[in-house]
Amino acid sequence: MGGVTTARELADEMLTVIFDADPVTATLRGVPGWDDRLPDVSAEGARRLRDRAADIARRAGVEGDDPATRAVVEHEGWSLVHHLDANLVEHTHSDGLAGPVVVLLATLPLIRPADDRACRAYLTRLASLPDYLDALTRRQRDSDRRPLRHLVEAAIARIDRHLAEDDDPLRVPLNGTPFAEACARVVHETARPALARYRDFLRAEVVGRGRGEDRPGLCWLPDGDLVYADLVRVYTTTGHTPEELHRIGLGLIEELDREYEEIGGRVFGPAATAAGVRARLLADPGLRWSSAEEMVSVAVATIARAEEVAEDWFGTVPRARCAVEAVPAAEAPNAPLAYYIEPALDGSRPGTYFVNTHRAEERDRFPAEATAFHEGVPGHHFQVARAQQSADLPLLRRFASIEAYLEGWALYTERLADEMGLYSDDVARLGMLAADSLRAARLVVDTGLHAMRWTRQQAVDYLRANAVMPDVDIFAEVDRYIEVPAQALAYMVGRLEIQRLRGEAERRLGDRFDIKAFHDLVLGGGPLPMAVLADVVDDWCGSVLGVDPRGVVQD
Q: Distance between terminal CA atoms of the chain?
A: 44
In terms of domains, do 203 and 288 share one?
no
> What is the structure's pLDDT at 554?
47
Distance CA 367, CA 433 (A): 9
> What is the structure's pLDDT at 426?
97
Distance CA 554, CA 22 (A): 47
Identity at 339, one-letter amino acid code: Y
In terms of domains, do 226 and 315 share one?
no
- Structural domains of the chain, count: 2
In a domain, 477, yes or no: yes
Contact call for residues 365 and 289 (beta carbons, < 8 A): yes
Residues 300-345: tens digit of each pLDDT? 999 999 999 999 999 999 888 999 999 988 778 867 789 998 888 8
> What is the structure's pLDDT at 548?
65
Q: Is 118 left (phi over 0), alpha (psi -120 to 50) or beta?
A: alpha
Confidence at 555, pLDDT banded by 50, 70, 90: very low
How much is the mean pLDDT over the chain?
94
Confidence at 152, pLDDT banded by 50, 70, 90: very high
Chain centroid offset of residue 88 CA: 16
Mind spelling out the 3-state secondary structure of 461-522? HHHHHHCCCCHHHHHHHHHHHHHCCCHHHHHHHHHHHHHHHHHHHHHHHHHHCCHHHHHHHH
pLDDT at 457 over 80: yes
Top pLDDT among 550 and 321 is at 321
> What is the structure's pLDDT at 1?
38
DSSP secondary structure, 162-204, as one string: HHT-SS-GGGGGGTTSTTHHHHHHHIIIIIHHHHHHHHHHIII
**Omega prior to 32 cis, within 30 of 0:** no
In a domain, 479, yes or no: yes
Top pLDDT among 334 and 92 is at 92
Residues 385-426: tens digit of each pLDDT? 999 888 899 999 999 999 999 999 999 999 999 999 999 999
- Select from 465, 493, 521 the last residue of a domain: 493
> What is the structure's pLDDT at 3?
64
In terms of domains, do 226 and 236 share one?
no
Top pLDDT among 336 and 283 is at 283
In terms of domains, do 207 and 323 share one?
no
In terms of domains, do 80 and 120 share one?
yes
Contact call for residues 81 and 57 (beta carbons, < 8 A): yes
In a domain, 548, yes or no: no
In terms of domains, do 344 and 215 share one?
no
The bridge status of strand 352-355 relative to strand 338-341 is: antiparallel
In a domain, 534, yes or no: no
Across residues 86-102, what is the average pLDDT? 93
Three-state DSSP at 339 gives strand
In terms of domains, do 209 and 354 share one?
no
In terms of domains, do 238 and 208 share one?
no
DSSP secondary structure, 426-447, as one string: HHHHHHHHHHHHHHHHHHHHHH
Strand order, beta sheet including 338-341: 323-326, 352-355, 338-341
Distance CA 327, CA 324 (A): 10
Distance CA 135, CA 143 (A): 12
pLDDT at 550 over 60: no
Domain range enclosing 330: 231-493
In terms of domains, do 37 and 89 share one?
yes
Distance CA 425, CA 448 (A): 35
DSSP conformation class of 321: P
In a domain, 426, yes or no: yes
Q: Is 356 left (phi over 0), alpha (psi -120 to 50) or beta?
A: beta
- Select from 493, 515, 546 the last residue of a domain: 493
In terms of domains, do 147 and 130 share one?
yes
Chain centroid offset of residue 277 CA: 29
pLDDT at 2 over 70: no
In terms of domains, do 149 and 252 share one?
no
- Select from 467, 493, 519 the last residue of a domain: 493
The bridge status of strand 352-355 relative to strand 323-326 is: parallel
Contact call for residues 378 and 313 (beta carbons, < 8 A): yes
Across residues 62-69, what is the average pLDDT? 95
Distance CA 436, CA 410 (A): 12
Across residues 177-194, what is the average pLDDT? 98
In terms of domains, do 60 and 188 share one?
yes
Confidence at 549, pLDDT banded by 50, 70, 90: low
